[in-house]
Amino acid sequence: MNAEHEPQPDQAGADLPEPDGSRPESAAPRLAAEAERRLSPLTVVTTAIQHGRSAGLPVLVALFAGDFNPWVLGGTVLVGVLLVVAGIVRYWTVRYQIIGERLEIRSGLISRSRRAIPLERIRGVNVTSTLLHRIFGLAVVRIDAAAGGALQQEEAKLDAIATAEAEQLRVELLRRHSLLVEHEAAEAEEPAAETEAAPAESAEVTYFRMPWRWYLYAVLSPAYLLTPFAVLAALFGFFNQFIDAEVIGAYVIGQADTIWGIVTSRSGLLLLTLVGVVAAILVAMPLFAVVSYMINQWQFTLHRRGEALVTERGLFTRHSVTLEYRRIHGYELHDTLVQRPWALGRLSAIVTGLGGSTSRSALLPLGPRAEVERIVAQALRPFHGKLVAHPAAARSRRLFRAVVPPLLLAGCAAALGWFWVAGGLLAVAVLGVPLGMDRYRSLGHGYDGEQVSVRSGSLARVQATVARSAIIGWRWRQSVFQRRAGLATMKATVGAGSGGYDAIDVDFADSVAFAHAVTPELLAPFLAASAAGAADQAADTSGQEGDRSGGAGA
Amino acid sequence: MTTVQLRPPKNRVSPRAVWLWTVTDAIEGAVTVGGITLTAWAVDTARWGWLPDWLVDRIWWVPVAVACYSVVKLVVAPRWRYRVYRWEVTADVVYTRKGWISRTWQLVPITRLQTVDHTQGWLERLFDLATVEIQTASHAGSSTIKGLPEAQARQLSEELAARAGQLRSDAT
């Protein structure tokens, strides 16, 4: 009931799946087995409360509605006892132990399960503690591990152990993990993962601690700025569950004359109230934004522990995320149209095995770009190259795509006689001009000998920088329209983050040369040098008989 | 001025693939035309007020146009796709080109392969063809080679899996 996984029957411990059984056991560094450990006894309390929380409201309602009759009272007591028993069972049955190269977690009372996680498959160990856990000095340890291919992912959870012990477990798991990985790397005579010179194992360097001023940037963070509306919507939904809308509707209709009277006689007062409400929302928006931002990002710190970057944040629930350097293949710099005039940006890591989880890959909150870049230079590797602008044809394409679709829709709306809609769409089309121009200005790609960087977007702009060694392939896509302009969209595929990063509307021939410069071994066998004028660059890479015959007929 | 360009991959798929794609497209087209015909029929019977009259009066043009497009596509697309579709496996790289109107070129280094699958759907079995799926750590970096003769596909996938095993690094 503890570890979130399929219960796996314990076959007398004989045939535990060992996915990496091929590696000779004797050659591995010797790692002693540690003593078997249990969850904290306080787990009994936290488990009961955690489970009880969801049952709390219905039970209270039943108590009041049932006028505390003995059946309901007895039932409540029974539920309470069951909750405590569940906690005791969890405490009693869950054990974990580090044995040599694996972490074993045993759980279950009747159907016992035993799970072994090979330490070298561990991708991250995260320690989180919610407010409830912190009251009792506990923390939850989550272990992310690769399962099967790198696409699969499994997660084990120890809920909960004492904070100090959790920290200790994390350090120990990661220490053993890195020992195993280094050993394997040395065995295979591979170049070590390209990170900077490794400092002493235990060294802890703090790169960033959130200054006070940074909390105010919440005002420029759209997600947080819109929280009051989200809160209002949530409240509305909450009350909606208790209030019958039809009854209110009927009441309003019944009182229509009175209401109309108020509206006509006290229109001044009504207007004043309306203005007041709008003003209150306008004041509340930035205030709410800053407060919720503080709760989320409280004392955001970024530091290095051994061979990993660790971020910590949160006021009530403290999140701690460990990202190993071995899994970090690059970083993304995000900014939006609103943030750009203030030169702000947000940093996140491109990490294997996190998928699209944006909150866990965050390295820095929104802050001044110069400061962010300074920290990139310290903690990661800065991009030294220049971004090359894309050809002029890319600008026409950006403009076309920003302006023409709303224009067409406006035409349709006008044809249908919806003139208001048509007008709105026309305005959108006009705004598309600066938007398209800005999108074109954002486009760029570059290579500094070690890292590839691509940038795109306008309302939300992203610059992704990826290590050369992390690029696991290339893909070009070319539509008919791109072919006529000699353009293509080049994707550098990466086994981390979103899986690939696009250079949109690059010159096809130039981008092939670019990819060749980055990964010569990949491209070299497939290149055909051709003395070509500017006119011939138009994407006809085949140069063979029938390949293009159909192309003209499109 | 000398520029470098990607040359097309060396191998074509089996010519039988043209017929496989024709059948697949025919089924797909029939379903689409059927759906649109149903919609057109609904519009014709219901005659909703918010739709302009000129549209409702000519609603049957829509399925007819789509049907015509489907037929033309049925004749043109598979042949065209066959001409574009190429693949090549060198010592280190799997290189494919596919598409018809829009085209995709893809390079996948064999060192980064994680799984190589060999699949055969029921239609493919009818034509004795098969698909080789190549997966890397990145979804976008994964590739497929469709329309290979069954025996060749099997051999290729085994070969690739063996070579990936030899060359395999961390694969991410």
User: Is residue A344 domain-resident?
Assistant: yes
Which pLDDT value is given to residue A153? 59
> Mean pLDDT throughout B88-92?
89
**Best-predicted range by mean pLDDT (A35-49, A207-221, A531-545):** A207-221
pLDDT digits (tens, 9 = 90+) for A66-108: 666 777 778 788 888 888 888 888 888 888 888 877 888 887 7
Residues of A in contact with B54 (CB under 8 A): none
* DSSP per-residue string spanning B112-166: G--EEEEE--HHHHHHTEEEEEEE-SSSTT-EEEEEEEHHHHHHHHHHHHHHHHH
Residue type, A460: A
Question: Does residue B103 sit at the A interface (CB-CB below 8 Å)?
Answer: yes
Token code pair at residue A127: 């320690």
Q: How far away is chain A from the Cα of B80, in angstroms, using its nearest Cα? A: 7
Residue A98 lies in a domain: no
Task: Tell me the mean pLDDT in the region A158-174.
Answer: 85
Residue A490 reports pLDDT greater than 90? yes
Is A411 in a helix, a strand, or coil?
A: helix
3-state class of A375 per DSSP?
helix
Same domain, residue pair A433 and A490 = yes
Question: With bands split at pLDDT 50, 70 and 90, how would you rate the model's confidence at A512?
Answer: very high
CA–CA separation, A80 vs A340, rounded Å? 54
Last residue of a domain, one of A351, A379, A407: A379
Which pLDDT band, with edges at 50, 70 and 90, does A545 fall under?
A: very low
The verdict on residue A39 lying in a domain is no
Mean pLDDT of A355-372: 83
Contact A309, A328 (CB under 8 A): yes
Are the Cβ atoms of A480 and B2 closer than 8 angstroms? no
Could you tell me if A544 lies within 8 Å of chain B, comparing CB atoms?
yes
DSSP-derived secondary structure for A253-292: HHTHHHHHHHHHHTHHHHHHHHHHHHHHHHHHHHHHHHHH
Higher pLDDT, B52 or A444: A444
Residue A43's alpha-carbon distances to A2, A50, A98, A320, A392, in angstroms, are 11, 10, 21, 20, 63
Interface test with A, best of B12, B87, B138, B170 (most A CBs within 10 A): B138
User: What does the pLDDT average to over A458-482?
Assistant: 92
Q: Do B141 and A500 touch (CB under 8 A)?
A: yes
Q: Is A393 helix (H, G, I), strand (E, B) or coil?
A: helix
Looking at the DSSP assignment, which residues form a beta bridge with residue A328?
A351
Q: A352 versus A239: which is more confidently predicted?
A: A352
d(CA A181, CA A187): 10
- Shortest CB distance from B138 goes to which of A415, A500, A521? A500
Q: Which residue in A has a C-alpha nearest to residue B73's C-alpha?
A: A554
Domain assignment present for A82: no
Same domain? For A243 and A347 the reply is no
The confidence score (pLDDT) of residue B48 equals 77
Using alpha carbons, list the distances in angstroms from residue A467 to A101, A314, A382, A403: 30, 30, 11, 36
- ipTM comes to 0.89
Contact B112 A472 (CB under 8 A): yes
> Which of the residues A189, A421, A526, A545 would you substitute to probe the B interface, choosing the one with the greatest number of B C-beta atoms within 10 Å?
A526
Chain B touched by A501 (CB under 8 Å): no
* CA atoms in the 13 A half-sphere facing the CB of A274: 7
Contact criterion met (CB < 8 Å) for A528 and B7:
yes
Least confident of A35-49, A472-486, A500-514, B7-21: A35-49
Mean pLDDT of B26-42: 92
With an 8 Å Cβ cutoff, are A526 and B107 in contact? yes
Q: Establish, for the pair of chains A and B, how many residue pairs have beta carbons separated by less than 8 Å.
A: 167
pLDDT at A127 over 50: yes
pLDDT of residue A356: 55
Question: Residue A357: which pLDDT band, with cuts at 50, 70 and 90?
Answer: low
pLDDT above 50: residue B101:
yes
Between helices A70-93 and A43-65, what is the axis angle to 10°?
170
Examine the domain organization and report whether A292 and A305 are in the same domain: no
- Tell me, what's the pLDDT at A189? 43
Give yes or no for a contact between A306 and A181, defined as CB atoms under 8 angstroms apart: no
Residue A340 CB burial class (10 angstroms; 0-12, 13-18, ≥19): middle
Statement to judge: residues A436 and A496 lie in one domain? yes
Chain B residues 26-55 with a CB less than 8 Å from chain A? 52
Could B102 and A476 be called an inter-chain contact, meaning their C-beta atoms sit closer than 8 Å? Answer: no
Mean pLDDT for A19-42 is 60
- Report the distance separating Cα A156 and Cα A118, nearest Å: 12
Average pLDDT over residues A265-288: 82
Q: Which of A428, A508, A432 is nearest to A475 (CA)?
A: A508
E strand or H helix at B3, and its extent?
A: strand B2-6
Burial of residue B91, with CB atoms counted within 10 A of its CB: 0-12 exposed, 13-18 middle, 19 or more buried: exposed
Task: Give chain A positions within 8 Å (CB) of B80.
Answer: 550
Of A311, A345, A379, which closes a domain?
A: A379
What was the pLDDT predicted at A367? 92
Query: Cα(A324)–Cα(A304) distance, rounded to whole angstroms?
Result: 9
* DSSP-derived 3-state class of residue A386: coil
Domain presence at residue A79: no
pLDDT for residue A505? 93
Q: What value does the mean pLDDT take over residues A420-434?
A: 92
Q: Residue B20's pLDDT is what?
A: 93
In a domain, A280, yes or no: yes
pLDDT, averaged across chain A: 78
Q: Higher-confidence residue: A316 or B8?
A: B8
Angle at A308 between CA A302 and CA A314, to 5 degrees: 35
Q: Is the model's pLDDT at A36 over the cut of 90?
A: no
Asked whether residue A168 carries a pLDDT value surpassing 80, the answer given is yes
Separation of alpha carbons A398 and A487, rounded Å: 12
Q: What is the pLDDT of residue A137?
A: 86
pLDDT at A13: 37
Inter-chain touch B3–A509, beta carbons under 8 Å: yes
Is residue A535's pLDDT more than 60? no
Segment A126-137 shows an average pLDDT of: 83
Whole-angstrom distance, CA of residue A505 vs CA of residue A397: 8
Q: Indicate yes or no: CB of A528 within 8 angstroms of CB of B115.
A: no
Query: Rounded to an integer, what distance in angstroms lies between the CA atom of residue A429 and that of residue A352?
Result: 40
Taking CB atoms and an 8 Å limit, are B107 and A528 in contact across chains?
no
Q: Residues A431-436: what's their mean pLDDT?
A: 93
Range A54-67 average pLDDT:
71
What range does the domain containing A302 cover?
A: 298-379
In the structure, how many helices (H) and strands (E) does chain A have?
15, 21
pLDDT digits (tens, 9 = 90+) for B53-75: 778 888 888 899 999 999 999 99
Alpha-carbon span A181 to A175, nearest angstrom: 10
Indicate the domain borders of chain B.
13-82, 86-167
The average pLDDT across A141-163 equals 72
Buried b / exposed e across A533-544, counting CB within 10 Å, b at 16+?
eeebbebbbbee
Q: Clarify whether residues A404 and A521 are in a common domain.
A: yes
What residues form DSSP beta bridges with A157? A142
Residue A444 lies in a domain: yes
Q: Do A522 and A515 form a contact (C-beta atoms < 8 A)?
A: yes
Residue A330 Ramachandran class (φ > 0 left, ψ -120 to 50 alpha, else beta) = left
User: pLDDT value at position A166?
Assistant: 87
Which of A354-368, A461-475, A501-515, A537-551 is least confident?
A537-551
Among A293-302, B32-41, B49-58, B155-164, the minimum mean pLDDT is found in B49-58
Which of helix, strand or coil describes residue B100? Answer: coil
Are residue A278 and residue A328 in the same domain, yes or no? no
In the three-class reduction of DSSP (H, G, I as helix; E, B as strand; rest coil), residue A106 is classed as strand
A495 → closest Cβ in B102, B103, B136: B136
Tally of domains in chain A: 3
Interface of A with B in 186-245 (CB under 8 A): 188, 190
Q: What percent of chain B has pLDDT over 70?
A: 96
* Amino acid A242: pLDDT: 59
- Does residue B49 surpass a pLDDT of 80? no
What share of chain B has pLDDT > 90, as a percent? 48
Question: Higher-confidence residue: A513 or A318?
Answer: A513
Read off the pLDDT band of A194 (50, 70, 90): very low
Tokens of A57: 């409201």
Torsion region of A294: left, alpha or beta (phi above 0 gives left; psi -120 to 50 gives alpha):
alpha
**For range A183-207, the mean pLDDT:** 55
For the domain that residue A429 is a member of, what is the CATH number? 2.30.29
Assigned token pair, A173: 């798991």
B166 vs A: CB within 8 A: no
Q: Which residue of B has its CA nearest to A538?
A: B5
- Banded model confidence at residue A370, pLDDT cuts 50, 70, 90: very high
Number of other residues whose CB lies within 10 A of the CB of residue A369: 17
- SS3 at position A196: coil
d(CA B76, CA A549) in angstroms, rounded, equals 12
Q: pLDDT tens across A209-240, in order?
A: 999 999 999 888 887 877 667 777 777 766 66
Domain end call among A297, A320, A348: A297
Q: Which two tokens stand for residue B16?
A: 């039988």
A410 and A510, same domain (yes or no) = yes
The answer on pLDDT for B95 being more than 50 is yes
Write the secondary structure of A468-531 as one string of H (helix), E (strand) and C (coil): HHHEEEEEEEECHHHHHHCEEEEEEEECCCCCEEEEEEEEHHHHHHHHHHHCHHHHHHHEEEEE
Q: Is the pLDDT of residue A554 over 50?
A: no
For A134, other C-beta atoms within 10 Å of its C-beta total 14
Residue range A15-41: mean pLDDT, rounded: 56
Asked if residues B161 and B116 have their Cβ atoms less than 8 Å apart, the reply is yes
Gyration radius (Cα) of chain A, Å: 30
Q: Does residue A36 or residue A349 have the better pLDDT?
A: A349
Q: What is the pLDDT of residue B70?
A: 93
Question: Beta strand A328-336 with A308-313: parallel, antiparallel or unpaired?
Answer: unpaired
- A342 and A466, same structural domain? no
In B, minimum Cα distance to A550 occurs at B80
CATH number of B86-167: 2.30.29.30
Give the pLDDT confidence score for residue A463 in this predicted structure. Answer: 94
